[in-house]
Amino acid sequence: MKVAVVGVTGLVGTRMMEVLAERRFPVTEFFPVASERSVGKKVTFAGKEYAVMRADDAIAARPDLAIFSAGAAASRELAPRFAAVGCRVVDNSSCWRQDPDKKLVVPEINADVLTADDYIIANPNCSTIQMVLPLAPLHKRFGIKRIVVSTYQSVTGSGIKGIRQLEAERAGKGPGEYDAFYPYPIDRNILTHIDSFLENGNTKEEMKMVNETHKILRDDRIGVSPTTARVPVVGGHSESINLELFQDFTLEEIRDIWEHTPGVTVQDDPSRNLYPMPIHSLGKDDVFVGRLRRDPSVPYGLNFWCVSDNIRKGAATNAVQIAEALLAAGLLPR
């Protein structure tokens, strides 16, 4: 199996290499790809050192699989070129997610949509992935009428630039002493501004959660009302989720469903101060849920708290799991 990682020197690209090695994905030839300025740099994959290469050279080698985390512009240009040589592309950018001809996949939910015709497959937004994973079995069992979600997203969601700004501010550096990524300070602050603002008043991040939820759960009737915020946390996104279901439920039923849902871990025992926290999600692939309680203000209302490592399940791990689903379906060589 010839595998390329495009955007290999970035925060997510580095994690993709780690996850491929951890999960023992059957890589026989590895092609690390990044932008021109990174060509020749050394990266380590599965204990072996490789020199970063140009996309053109990787395409000429005709890989079987390319996992992308290089941004929408690079994906728009390069993904079709990789696909044209028979390579399956799993893309982590927003480029293809709403393309009606491209599948948007969280493998535990909808790996069944993958077919032999799929050469570019979209990896969903990190905030969407961790939300829909616990929601999918609830929608199947009770039906979801409406979702109100507020996110608390770590600076790792902005890549290394977000981390560096937070670190610079915490080191006491003032404006002009570091390269600012955010329009305001992030340390000891919260920014309800992730991606750009749209004419409807929402940000692109918020509309991603609306549109991607509909596509993954295959139900455009679900009401989705998101507010996304960046918080001064290094690693791990958190979400406060309020649901209105179509049928009544017990909290015991909800817990039982989640305890039998692959990729979901229940942490819900207030008597022992047990609830999900981003600091405990780091390096893990599960989505952690807790703080379960009824919302009496609406019929069949449920509140819960949801946490996940946004670089792992929210990006790298989900992408590798898509590749594993392609392999299991016989769409990649063994």
CATH assignment of 127-310?
3.30.360.10
For residue 126, indicate whether it is catalytic. yes
Quick one: DSSP state of residue 232? S
Give percent of the chain with pLDDT exceeding 70.
100
Query: Over pLDDT 90: what percentage of the chain?
Result: 99
DSSP code for 63: -
Q: In the structure, what pLDDT confidence band is assigned to residue 334 with cuts at 50, 70 and 90?
A: confident
Q: Where are the domains of the chain?
A: 2-123+315-328, 127-310
87 classed as catalytic: no
Q: What is the pLDDT of residue 225?
A: 98
Q: Please compute the mean of the pLDDT values over residues 290-296 and round it to a whole number.
A: 98
pLDDT beyond 90 at 231: yes
pLDDT in tens, 41-80: 999 999 999 999 999 999 999 999 999 999 999 999 999 9
What pLDDT score does 149 carry?
99
CA distances from residue 265 to 42, 133, 147, 156 in whole angstroms, order as listed = 37, 11, 21, 22
User: Does the pLDDT at position 206 exceed 90?
Assistant: yes
For residue range 98-139, what is the model confidence (pLDDT) as tens digits? 999 999 999 999 999 999 999 999 999 999 999 999 999 999
- The answer to whether 33 touches 55, Cβ cutoff 8 Å, is yes
Topology annotation, domain 2-123+315-328: Rossmann fold (3.40.50)
Catalytic residue, candidates 87, 95, 139, 237: 237
Q: One fold for both 2-123+315-328 and 127-310? A: no
Q: What is the edge-to-edge ordering of all strands in the sheet holding 237-245?
A: 223-230, 144-153, 237-245, 301-308, 287-295, 264-266
Residue 5: closest CA among 48, 23, 50, 47: 50
Mean predicted lDDT score pLDDT of the chain: 97
Q: How many CB atoms sit inside 10 A of residue 146's CB?
A: 16
Q: Single out the residue of 272, 168, 146 nearest to residue 214, CA to CA.
A: 146
pLDDT value, residue 175: 86
Q: Is residue 60 classed exposed, middle or buried when 0-12, 13-18 and 19+ CB atoms within 10 A define those classes?
A: exposed
Among candidate residues 126, 193, 260, 280, the one labeled active-site is 126
Q: Could you read off the pLDDT of 136-147 as tens digits, one per residue?
A: 999 999 999 999
Is the distance from CB of 31 to CB of 61 less than 8 angstroms? yes
